[in-house]
C-alpha cells in the first residue's frame, strides 16, 4: 500500500481542495490529510482560521478520496506528522514551494525514503483560499 500525505489549513473545503485530494490520491492508495493547527495557520497566514480544528478535520474527513484526516503538528517544522505516518509520498499544492524546499532539505531526518511531488493548480485565480 502506497501512502500519500498532504498538508493544509482547509478552512472551508472548496473545489481547489477537492482537486488537491483527487490529484494526491492518484499517487497512492491511502490518503492522509494533515490539517494545520490554529497556531500554525496564524503563523503562516497571519490570521486565525474561521473554523475550529475539529470542524476542519471533520469537513476534510468527509471528502471523497480522503482516507484519514488528522491534526497537523503544533510546532512548525517539527514534521512529527511525517515521522509518525511515514508516507511514501508527500503531495504538495502548487503554492507550497517553501514547504517543498524545507522538506527537501530535511527529508534525510525522517529515517525512511519519501518522494515529494508538486500538484497542479486548479483554477487558482478562483479557488485559492486567500481569495475565498
Where do the domains of the chain lie, and which CATH numbers do they carry?
Answer: 3-131 (3.40.50.620)
Q: What is the pTM assigned to this prediction?
A: 0.91
pLDDT of residue 132: 42
The 10s digit of each residue's pLDDT in 104-115 is: 999 999 999 999
Q: Is 61 exposed, middle or buried (0-12, 13-18, 19+ CB in 10 A)?
A: middle
Mean pLDDT of the 91-118 span:
95
pLDDT digits (tens, 9 = 90+) for 12-70: 999 999 999 999 999 999 999 999 999 999 999 999 999 999 999 999 999 999 999 99
Across the chain, the runs of DSSP E, i.e. the strands, are: 3-8, 30-35, 68-71, 89-92, 115-118
How would you label 88-110 residue by residue, b for 16+ Cβ within 10 Å and e otherwise?
Answer: bbbbbbeebeebeeebeeebeee
Amino acid at each position: 500500500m502506497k501512502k500519500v500525505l498532504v498538508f493544509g489549513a482547509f478552512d472551508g473545503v472548496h473545489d481547489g481542495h477537492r482537486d488537491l485530494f483527487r490529484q494526491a490520491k492518484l499517487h497512492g492508495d491511502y490518503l492522509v490529510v494533515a490539517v494545520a493547527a490554529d497556531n500554525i495557520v496564524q503563523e503562516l497566514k497571519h490570521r486565525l482560521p474561521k473554523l475550529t480544528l475539529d470542524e476542519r478535520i471533520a469537513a476534510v474527513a468527509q471528502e471523497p478520496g480522503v482516507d484519514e484526516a488528522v491534526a497537523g503538528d503544533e510546532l512548525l517544522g517539527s514534521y512529527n506528522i511525517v515521522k509518525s505516518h511515514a508516507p511514501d509520498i508527500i503531495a504538495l499544492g502548487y503554492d507550497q514551494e517553501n514547504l517543498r524546499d524545507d522538506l527537501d532539505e530535511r527529508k534525510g531526518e525522517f529515517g525512511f525514503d519519501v518522494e515529494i511531488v508538486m500538484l497542479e493548480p486548479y483554477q487558482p485565480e478562483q479557488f485559492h483560499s486567500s481569495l475565498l
